[in-house]
Amino acid sequence: MRLNQAKRKLLAGQPALGARAGLGAPLAAELLSKAGFDWVAVDCQHGNWEDSGALEAFRAIALGPAAPMARVRANDFGAIGRLLDRGAQGIIVPLVNTPEEARVAVYATRYPPLGGRSWGPFLAGWLGSDYDTAGEAEILLAVQIESAQAVENAEAIMGVEGVDACWIGPKDLARTMGVDVNTPAGAAAHEAAILQVLAACRAMGKAAGIDGGSEAGGRRWLEHGFQFVSVTNDSVLISSGAQGIIGRLSGGA
């Protein structure tokens, strides 16, 4: 069975750095894995992915050390099951605002008796012939806490059995809070909400995660104690790298 080393790091209290793949290009996802990230998330919510491309991406990611994960389109039993059956070893579920919604995600992700996932992962056979007995333990379930309501319910959400981690969406959180993070007051309120979630994760013994958005953002949240942290995505890396080269060669840097 292919082991989920990112999950093992989190369980050991260590950080696991990730990147998002949204372009719909399995080769780009492979490059992110081979660069050394602990996990790469195929972004089916906001990215350009269909089922067949996701399957190819998971296999491509597995050519490097990263755990193949996916952000699902919605907290939907069928959508989550299809990604798991294709070999996702981690599922990130967006917009989880209540413990009831967290239990829905667990039900879709876990086999009985904890959940209700249907058996039939023949497309995930490339992970190992012992998927039947060992596959469940390698799956990481992270729920996105990205609303003011979710922050208030964070401890109850993270206390749901079967949830391994959270992954805060800072931009959506700011929008639902109605704060402008470019002002001192807004930034302070936003950070306080994020740290409230971190405290809830610690209280429940679960891994705290966040989309750092950049190297600097990732470093900031790692220093606060977050573990499940993403720092970039494929489109940003291409754009920033290309702009940097053009800028330097044209005398802009």
State the catalytic residues. 46
Contact 218, 230 (CB under 8 A): yes
Q: How far apart are CA 100 and CA 119, in angstroms?
A: 23
Task: Quote the distance between the C-alpha of residue 85 and its chain's center.
Answer: 18
Grouping H, G, I as helix, E, B as strand and the rest as coil, residue 93 is strand
Question: Cα dihedral sign for 171, 174, 178, 184?
Answer: negative
Q: Give every CB contact of residue 236 below 8 A, 6+ residues apart in sequence.
A: none
Q: How far apart are CA 207 and CA 11, in angstroms?
A: 8
Grouping H, G, I as helix, E, B as strand and the rest as coil, residue 92 is strand
**Residue position matching structure tokens 């490097």:** 64
State the first-to-last Cα distance of the chain, in angstroms, to the nearest integer.
Answer: 48
Contact 44, 10 (CB under 8 A): no
Q: How far apart are CA 16 and CA 36, in angstroms?
A: 11
Task: Quote the distance between the C-alpha of residue 166 and its chain's center.
Answer: 8
